[in-house]
Chain A
Amino acid sequence: MSGLAKTSVARKVVMALSGLFLVLFLLLHVTINLTSVISPDTFNTMSHFMGYNPLVQFLMQPILIAGVIVHFVMGIILEIQNKKARTVRYVKYAGGANAPWVSRNMILTGLVVLAFLGLHFYDFWIHEMNYKFVQANPEDPTRYYAETVEKFEPMWRTLIYVVSFVLLALHLWHGFASSFQSMGINNKYSSGIRSFTRLYAIVVPLLFIFIALYHHLNPITH
């Protein structure tokens, strides 16, 4: 993949564009998830649309998966190159004196979010593929709400989701505004972009956490 972006500047642009695409997707994701708290019927309708619309399934979904893969593979490539750029470490390095923790630990927060994505794919995407294509079950536009709420019944899974969203917030806190810098945008709007980044990095993960906790605390009684 590093062949696609041959220089450090180009690789950072790829990182920025894929990151911004995922930021936009998060907004769509949290909006749909919020309907599960407000109106189960709307959540079922929207989920069924996302699950069966050919445009979503065969165009948007592959683009999304490609976006995730490009972002994390490029992130790992960049990290390997960065480690090679200083093979002998400092005995004393005051990283905290000149840069915030979040900006210095994007690989850590990113890898936690990636690990979470593994669980998330197992929980929902693989389940969905199995339901639709392996078991070849008929369409059931009413199943999504119950399946989602059921996922949040165990405390361990809810906790993993909450912790992962905190790490996502930290990742967004630096990454969102940073992507504009990587694309060469640093001007009079940059302080506004940084403020919006902080708002986004707090509100969106907080909404995800709220939804997870809400369903954990309000299970469907059988």
Chain B
Amino acid sequence: MKLLLKIWRQKDGSSKGKLVDYPIDHIEGDMSFLEMLDVLNQELIEKGDEPVVFDHDCREGICGTCSLMINGEPHGPDRLITTCQLHMRRFNDGDTIVIEPFRATAFPVLKDLMVDRSAFDRIQQAGGYISVNTSGNTVDANAIPIDKHHADESFEAASCIGCGACVAACKNASAMLFTAAKVSQFALLPQGKVEAIDRVQNMVRQMDLEGFGNCTNTGACEVECPKGISLENIARMNREYLMATVKG
């Protein structure tokens, strides 16, 4: 398969980037998208050029590290997968593929296709936890009965891998789906209810401080989320926030 890659190259966060054309040949349909970039980088290294910097880690769709905007969609044209799970058979011989970093003010570009997503870490640190004394007398979580419906919903919310596709897809670069998933996974469990008021208020406040946009309920985040996190979580976070405002 012969392709024309148009890849965003940017020296560092303070430099101005641009799309650079890279024709590439002999790409197999069974290669993953990241393997295709590996082939390109190998060619660039052999030619003495600087390889394209991009984030990757587990390459099996669970770590949330890979983060490419492929032809205008985060993680490419397929649904419920990450970039590392996207295969080249999805493209046709002769295609042009535009590859850009996830773009948001809160996700500054570090180099080429790699962005700094530590804003998500700070949102999580603001309240995405439960305070448990772990000094020797930890209570077994299973000692508290939880009905299956809520346990399943919580698990689904917790399956968010924090990749940032929701922010990348949203026309407003809103982080509501990520924050809502992290609020929801605790809000649905009895262990999470103790700190519910502070959690939602602090996480929403941190989300705003990071400079993410506002949710306008377009639903793009839900469609592009590789883990299928639904908009119901955003509604739950809104409810939690309203309740926290009334009670708090």
Contact = CB atoms under 8 A, between A and B. Distances in A.
A7 B105 contact: no
Contact of A8 (B69, B106, B214): B214
Contacts, number: 133
Contacts of B207: 8
Counting chain B CB atoms within 10 Å of each CB, the highest count among A84, A97, A98, A100 belongs to: A98
B217 A92 contact: no
Counting chain A CB atoms within 10 Å of each CB, the highest count among B173, B220, B234 belongs to: B220
Contact of B218 (A10, A85, A104, A184): A104
A209 to B, nearest CB: 26
Interface in A171-198: 174, 178, 181-187
Contact of B171 (A11, A12, A95): A95
Contact of B241 (A7, A104, A178, A187): A7
Chain B: number of interface residues, binned into ranges: 35 or more
Interface stretch (B45-53, B82-90, B96-104, B150-158): B96-104
B244 to A, nearest CB: 10
Given A99-B218, A103-B219, A86 B238 contact: no
Interface string B189-227: 000000000000000110110011111111110011000
Given A85-B104, A99-B219, A184-B236, A94 B214 contact: no
Chain A: number of interface residues, binned into ranges: 35 or more
B interface majority secondary structure = mixed
A178 to B, nearest CB: 4
B236 A98 contact: no
Contacts of A12: 214-215, 238
Contacts of A97: 72-73, 77, 223
B100 A7 contact: no
B192 to A, nearest CB: 17
Contact of A98 (B105, B220, B232, B242): B220
A60 interface: no
Which 3 pairs across A and B sit closest by C-beta, in order of nearness?
A: A94-B72, A184-B239, A85-B213
9 contacts: A8-B212, A11-B214, A12-B214, A85-B173, A90-B72, A99-B219, A103-B217, A178-B217, A182-B217
Interface of B: 6, 8, 19, 69, 71-73, 77, 98, 100, 103-106, 109, 169, 171-174, 176, 204-205, 207-208, 211-220, 223-224, 231-232, 234-242, 245
